[in-house]
Amino acid sequence: MNKFKRNKITSLDIIIFLRQLATLTKSGISIIDSLNLLEKSQDKKLLRLLLFQIKREIMSGKSLSTSLELTSTHFDKLTLHGIKLGEKTGNLDHLLTLLATHQENTYNLLKRIKATLFYPCIILTLGLVMTIFLLIFVIPRFAILFEGQDHQLPLLTLCLFKLSYFLKFFSLWFIGFICILPFVVKKLHVQQSYWQRIATLPLINTYVQKFLLARFARHLAITFAAGIPLLQALALLNDTTYSKEFNKAVLYLHTKVSTGLSLHESMSHGYFPPLIVQLVKTGETSGLLDTMLNKAAAFLEAEVNQTIERSCQLLEPLIMVVLGVLIGGLVIGMYLPIFNLGNTL
C-alpha cells in the first residue's frame, strides 16, 4: 500500500511536469524530445508510463492538449484549454509557465491551510483516542469494584460505567464500521456532496468562498494573458469550480457580460467583495486586467491565511478546554465514589 502511494501521481508531480515542459520548450527543444528527457528522469513508474502514453499519442499525429486529455485525468479543463490555445498561437512555453505558476500558487495555499490545521486536529484526535482508551480498558476495572452498588453511585459515575460497557461491547462493530465507511462513501458516490455540505457550514464557508474567489481571479488572469475572450473565459471557468453557489455566480457574470455590461459592473451584484470589484474596474480602465486580477488573488489568499491562523489561535485553547473537560470528567467520575466513601467514614 505504501509502495502504491509513493508511485501515485500527485498534483505536485503535475506541477513539476508543467514547469519542466515549459522550460524545455522555451529552450527550443521539441515536444517529443522534451517528453523523452522527462520520461528518462522520472523515478515513479506511473509517471513514466503516463509520459510514454502522451508521447505515443503525439507521435500518432495528435496535439499535446489532445494527448493529455486522452491519457490522463490529472489535467483540468483550464490547463487543457490553455495548452491548446498555446499550440494555436505559438506561445506554448508562455502558457505552460502561466499554468504551472497558477497551480503552484494553488498548491502552496492548500499546503499552508493543511499545515495550519494539522496541529489542532492531531491534538483533538489524540485526546479522543485517549478518552476512548480509558472508557474501554481502564474504567471497566473500576466498575468491578462497585458491582451491585448502582443505586449508591453518583450519576456521573453511573453514566461513565454504562458508556464504558456500551463501547466495550460494541467496540469491534464500531471499528469495523469506521474501516468500511470510506469504501461505502466511495461506492455510493456521496463523497463530493458530503464535502459540499461541510463547505456550507458558517465558519468553513468563509474559507471556501475566499479560496474560490482567489482561484477564480487566478483562472481569469490566465485566460486574459492567453488572449481568450471574456465570454469564452467565463464559460470555461464555470466548468472548473466545485461549488454550486459559485457556479451560479459565474453563470450570472456570463449572462450579464453577454448583455453588454463590463466585468466590474456584472460583479457588483453582491457575491464579489467590493475591493475585488474595484480592482477589476481599475484593471479594465487601465488595460491591465490580468495584473489586477493576480493582485486580487494574492490579496484573497493572504486573507485566507490570516483567517485560518486567527481561527487556529482561537481553536487551540478551545480544544484544550474540551480535552480538559473530557479527561477531567472521566477522572472525577471514577474517583467520586471513593470520595463519597471517605465522607461516609
Residue 155 placed within a domain: yes
- Of 112, 286, 284, 68, whose CA–CA distance to 214 is shortest? 112
What are 132-179's pLDDT values in tens digits?
Answer: 888 888 888 877 777 766 567 788 888 888 888 887 777 777 677 777
User: What is d(CA 282, CA 279) in angstroms, rounded to the nearest whole number?
Assistant: 5
Q: Tell me, what's the pLDDT at 282?
A: 92
The average pLDDT across 2-13 equals 68
pLDDT at residue 202, rounded to an integer: 56
Please give the residue that has the higher pLDDT: either 235 or 280.
280
The model's pLDDT over 28-37, given as tens digits with 9 standing for 90+, comes to 888 999 999 9
Residue 50 has pLDDT above 70, yes or no: yes
CATH of the domain at 34: 1.20.81.30
Residue 181 pLDDT: 65
pLDDT at 270: 66
Q: Does 117 lie in the same domain as 42?
A: no
Which of 35, 51, 75 lies at the terminal end of a domain, its last residue? 75
CB contact at 8 A, 254 and 231: yes
Q: How many helices (H) and strands (E) does the chain have?
A: 17, 0
Residue 44 has pLDDT above 50, yes or no: yes
Do 166 and 307 lie in a common domain? yes
- What pLDDT was estimated at residue 5? 47
Dist. CA 136–CA 79, nearest whole Å: 51
Number of domains comprising the chain: 2
- Look at residue 88 and tell me if it is in a domain: no
Span 324-339, pLDDT tens digits: 888 888 888 877 777 7
Tally of CB atoms within 10 A around 217: 25
Same domain membership, residue 247 and residue 340? yes
Q: What is the pLDDT of residues 110-137, one digit of tens each?
A: 787 777 778 778 888 888 888 888 888 8
pLDDT confidence tier of residue 195, bands split at 50, 70 and 90: very low
pLDDT category of residue 190 using cuts at 50, 70 and 90: very low
- The residue that leads in pLDDT, 5 or 207, is 207
Which H, E and C letters describe 137-170, residue by residue?
HHHHHHHHHCCCCHHHCCHHHHHHHHHHHHHHHC
Whole domain around residue 222: which residue ranges? 107-345
8 Å CB contact between 198 and 225: no
Given 27, 54, 75, which residue is the final one in a domain? 75
The answer to whether residues 145 and 257 belong to one domain is yes
